[in-house]
Structure 1
Amino acid sequence: MLTRTLERKQPAPVDVHVEATLGEAIGVTFQQVQKYEKGTNRVGASRVQQIADVLQVPVSNFFEDMPAEATNGAGGAGRPSALHPELMQFVSSDQGLALIRAFCRIEDVKVRARVVSLVKALAEQERS
Structure 2
Amino acid sequence: MTHPVDVHVGRRIRHRRWMIGMTQQQLAERVGIKFQQIQKYETGANRVSASRLWDIATTLEVPVSFFFEGLEGQDAPAADKAPALPADILGDKEALDLIRSYYAIPENQRRRLFDLARVLSDVA
- Common fold, TM-score beyond 0.5? no
Provide TM-score, normalisation by structure 2: 0.40
Provide TM-score, normalisation by structure 1: 0.39
Structure with bigger gyration radius = 1
